[in-house]
Amino acid sequence: MKIKAQPFPYKFEVSSTALVIIDMQRDFIEPGGFGHALGNDVSLLAGIVPACQAVLSAWRAAGALVVHTRESHLADLSDCPPSKLNRGNPTLRIGDIGPMGRILVAGEPGNQIIAELSPMAGDIVIDKPGKGAFYATPLHQLLQQAGITHLVFMGVTTEVCVQSSMREANDRGYDCLLLADCTESYFPSFKTATLEMMRAQGGIVGWTAQSLDLLTVL
């Protein structure tokens, strides 16, 4: 398959491509979660949910692999270094009790993926302690076992966990596409800059496209 993309068309085969949905969690999307505690307008991130739903539905109908990630930590926070735990001045820090349970702690209500994009049987779900999806996780091994060579990304936030994951994937040899209307930042200018970074210099990290371009070929 080939879809319209920047800086040039993106070619892929569904059988060797995975859809990677980064951190579409209640802690980042809904009021009362970590994103809100940092002082952000979470409605910006919620705005991409319909587009993400459409892509996920079409991807599943095509019988292709779906990967979900969650930024989450052990209950004792032993996998959360002080440099992350103490960063900034939020009203609630990682591990503190918020409206949806302990912030960014595995198993807590707020740490779960939003209902609109809930994982299904056969999906891969990765709990990651860092920004990137490959750091301290089995993701690369699981993708290799599945014969995956290409990755289509969507999720939040564009400039942090999405960009980190896409760069990690690029370093591991995957051809990566980021769906521009299926990713978002609390800071719109950061999203714009990240999209430009990804596709700069002939696609130095990967490609960008609109979800409709993907849906058309699916």
Q: Which residues are catalytic?
A: 23, 128, 161
CB atoms within 10 A of CB 29: 26
Do 22 and 153 meet the contact criterion of CB atoms below 8 Å apart? Answer: yes
Coil/strand/helix, residue 151: strand
Q: Hey, which bits of the chain come out as E strands?
A: 2-3, 10-11, 17-22, 65-71, 97-98, 101-102, 124-128, 150-156, 175-184, 207-209
- Non-local CB neighbours of 183 within 8 Å, separated by 6+ positions: 22, 48, 153, 154, 155, 156, 157, 158, 162, 191
Length of the chain: 218
